[in-house]
Amino acid sequence: MDFSNKTKLKLILLLILLNIILRLQVVPNEIGLDSFIVHMMTNSISEFGCAKWVLHPLSFLGMYAFSEVSTVPFFLSGICQTTAIEMRWVILLYSIFLGIFSMFTAYLMAGAIMDDDCFKLLAAFAFSTSPAVLGYSTWTIPARGLFIVMTPLLVYMILNCRKYRSYIPLTIFFAVFLYATHHLFYFLIPSFFTFFVLLILFKLKKYIKYITIPSRFMLPTSVSKFITTSKNKYVELRDIIKLRVDIHSRDFKSKLYPLIPIIGFVAMFSIPFIGHKFVERSVYYPIYLSYARYIGVLVIPALGGLAYIMFKRRKSFREWFLLLTVIGLTALIYEQTYMKWFLPVFVVPFISIGLFNILRSERKKYVLITVSIFLIMATFFSGYYQFLHFSPTHGIRERYMEDSTYTAGGWMKEYVAGSAISNDRFFGMRIAAISDRTHNLITYTLLDITYGFVTANLSQFEWYPITSEEFWFDVGGTRYDAGESTWDGLNTLDIEPYRFNITHFAENTKAQGRVIWHHGIYPSKLLHRIYKENSHIYSNGNVNIWTIYE
């Protein structure tokens, strides 16, 4: 179902407009929590002219002590320095661009599966407006967002490697780029494994056409005349067996093919129960609600598309690739923290297949109405979570940075020359990102090392060989301990802040003199001591800035 260039351009422009509207928020400032860590990493590159956490080439990949994947901070720092635009507006423009770009990555991936304009546009719509993609491309900059948006482009390159060898070096380079973007890259292992296995099987398929039996027994013409029109007097038994095996194998395959995916799904789904791995939380948690939330209403046609591919008799290489990749990912289905963002990448093709099959239905009267209802419902579902579900609550924890925090951070940037600490874990990250050149002690060791609060002694680390599992998964375990214990200790214990050259305290007044910590809410001994000193220098109602005396 192809469109004219004019029609295609109109549809793409309308989809771009929809994506921009969905990302124009009613909140006043940057959204998220992890986003502000990336924000501070970006600030440090712009301030120092280098990434101080890069101690080794592997640091760029987040594979070295006290390091982190570095693609997004370098990219945003470059934009900020070359344009001289304030960082929060850079983040807003970057997010909108990322949302629009997600349309085209999904469009290319869909084109590698089926060269049909309608199919590709359905994929672009489903991917770019899905709650998963919207959640990480709306005024926020966690590294997962760039990774998720770029993954369909890698899938496009992988599928084209089969036909065009020129794609191979480009695919390898792009895979390294994505690995330096986020370690969700590990979730792509089933895709690479599936591709290589299918490549081998489809190569062998060209040479294996029959099941041959090395026999040269002879049969009389009275038997052979039913299976051959040859004028020869005798027919080899091997020819009869070839023909009979070929006929029976076709019947056997037609019955067996639908069972292969079902067995595969059951086997991979059982791995977390049998091996007790890849289970993030209780197996009784309703995971279907979590995935439906981030895929959206279009999960319904996705199930139809999956069933169609499963029971289709003759599957192409690309259809087998999609199906087996999703089967492989089933083993990770209980890793919801990551999979709920990643799985929609491979669900989108099935959404397009489901909707495309509806459009090809013989009942033309109801086809467009049905597809239109699905698209409208999907837009309203995503819009609800964009604008209504997270409406401002004015509580202790908002999903975005409040104006009072932004104003106080800007004041600190101008008038506070020393370093600061806060009484709220996430509030501290947000005000640290805005105050920029006022260095704040937070609960993230990598940035505390960058700003000189904590000293890293690499000689005390245990070094894992590259062949060990710990090398790939446990390197980041030490990134948080020092920063968290120091921040928590200063607030709840009687530790003198001048030992860390901390001169100011940024108080979130909503905590009412307490410490908001991920383990609970406790009294802040440091803050109550500051109250007695009466060293108040700034207030806007929600934020107080205090000077700390020795």
Rg (CA), the chain: 29
User: Helix or strand or coil: residue 125?
Assistant: helix
Ranges of residues in the chain with a pLDDT under 50 are 210-238, 240-245, 247-248, 282-284, 475-479
Please, what sign has the CA dihedral across residues 98, 101, 105, 107? positive
Q: Look at residue 73 in the predicted model and tell me its pLDDT.
A: 94
The pTM of the whole model exceeds 0.95:
no
pLDDT at 335: 82
Q: Order of strands across the sheet with 502-508?
A: 419-422, 502-508, 543-547, 536-539
Residue 283: the pLDDT is 47
Residues ≥6 apart with Cβ < 8 Å to 355 = 122, 298, 301, 305, 371, 374
Task: Give pLDDT, residue 392.
Answer: 55
Q: What does the pLDDT read at residue 478?
A: 46
pLDDT at 96: 94
What per-residue confidence (pLDDT) applies to 218? 45
CB neighbours (10 Å) of residue 83?
11
Report the C-alpha gap between 119 and 109 in whole angstroms.
11
pLDDT for the residue numbered 202: 87
Q: Which segments of 402-476 are extended strands (E)?
A: 419-422
Residue 429 contacts residue 33 (beta carbons within 8 Å): yes
Half-sphere exposure of 21 (CA within 13 A, CB side): 11
- Look up residue 488 and give its amino acid: D
Q: Measuring CA to CA, how many Å separate 205 from each of 161, 317, 549?
A: 19, 12, 78
pLDDT value for 121: 95
Indicate if the alpha-carbon torsion angle 403, 409, 412, 413 is positive or negative: negative
CA dihedral 332, 336, 342, 348 (to 10 degrees): 90
